[in-house]
Amino acid sequence: MENVKNEEYVICPRCKQEVYKEAIICPFCKFGIMAWLEGEIDENGEPIENKSK
């Protein structure tokens, strides 16, 4: 993942701010960081369908 800056921070794909990796949502733009890191949503906030069906 190219958006990982170091072990504790990621760059929010929506607002490009540095956010703690453990954050559930971005404090700047309310993007779902946890869901994005777990692969549940893409960088646009759209749900990712399970491709293994």
Confidence (pLDDT) at 7: 74
Q: What is the 3-state secondary structure (H, E, C) of the chain?
A: CCCECCCCEEECCCCCCEEECCCCCCCCCCCCHHHHHCCCECCCCCECCCCCC
Residue 11: give the domain boundaries. 1-53
- Residue 20 has a pLDDT of 92
Res. 52 pLDDT band, cuts 50 70 90: low
**Over the stretch 1-51, which tens digit does the pLDDT of each residue have?**
455 555 799 999 999 999 999 999 999 999 999 999 999 999 899 999 865
- Residue pair 35/46 in contact (Cβ under 8 Å)? The answer is no
The number of folded domains in the chain is 1
What phi, psi does 41 have (nearest 5°)? Answer: -135, 160
| pTM strictly above 0.85 | no
33 CB neighbour count, 10 Å cutoff: 23
